[in-house]
Amino acid sequence: MRLMDIMLKLSELYLSIIKVAQIAKYKRLSKEFIRYYGDICINDISKYCMPGWLDYIKKIESFLIPSPSYKFLQTDIFKKTMFVSDKGGWIEKELELLEKKFKSKELRRILKEDSVGKPIISNFKYLTSHNSIHQLYHIIYFEKESKKHIKETNTIVEWGGGYGSMAKVIKRLKPTMKSFPNLSQLLLNS
């Protein structure tokens, strides 16, 4: 076993220990998943999606129903459709900007992964995935270019929220953020 593999396993174990309450809550909520999912899928969204995404949605649904695995982020379909991986050295450039903006302790608080989903840890200093780094980078870059700050924003709409990584990062920056279960459902019913 390579050193990186060992460090990955230790990081996952550490997150499971410090976020043990998440595991119990996940087990309880995952039993009700099919009911909640049925509630948000009452309308046909096919006319709003590209055919390729409809295929992805079917694959994701087949994996999630009736109850999603605790390690859902480790599956190929989630990696393919919702993950950024450290190809091309992006992570170093993104972290460079973030480390200029935040003190190390604050950056770790914002980026530290949750245990649920078993995200792939790519940075051991902050116990985070490239996805969380990438999401925070986009927020900070947006603030820099727009001269608007997330903390001062009243409404944020994220179209196609995936598994909630951006919402998690925004909530840690702006604790009063609210997330909707399925934006398409809200739009179709308005």
Residues 46-97 pLDDT 10s: 888 888 888 888 888 888 888 888 888 888 888 888 877 765 678 888 999 9
The pLDDT value given to residue 28: 83
- Omega before 66 within 30 of 0, i.e. cis: yes
| 123 DSSP β-pair partners | 128
Do the beta carbons of residue 137 and residue 169 sit within 8 Å? no
Residue type, 173: L
Residue spans of the domains in the chain: they are: 3-188
Reply yes or no on whether the pLDDT at 119 is more than 90: no
99 vs 48: CA distance, rounded Å = 39
- 50 vs 172 pLDDT, higher one: 172
The pLDDT value given to residue 98: 95
Record the pTM.
Answer: 0.78
179: exposed, middle or buried (C-beta count within 10 Å: 0-12, 13-18, 19+)? middle
The pLDDT value given to residue 3: 79
Do the beta carbons of residue 11 and residue 124 sit within 8 Å? yes
30 vs 115: CA distance, rounded Å = 14
pLDDT band at 133 (very low <50, low <70, confident <90, very high): very high
- Which tokens in the block code for residue 52? 């390729």
The residue whose two tokens read 């170093």 is 92
SS3 of residue 123 by DSSP = strand
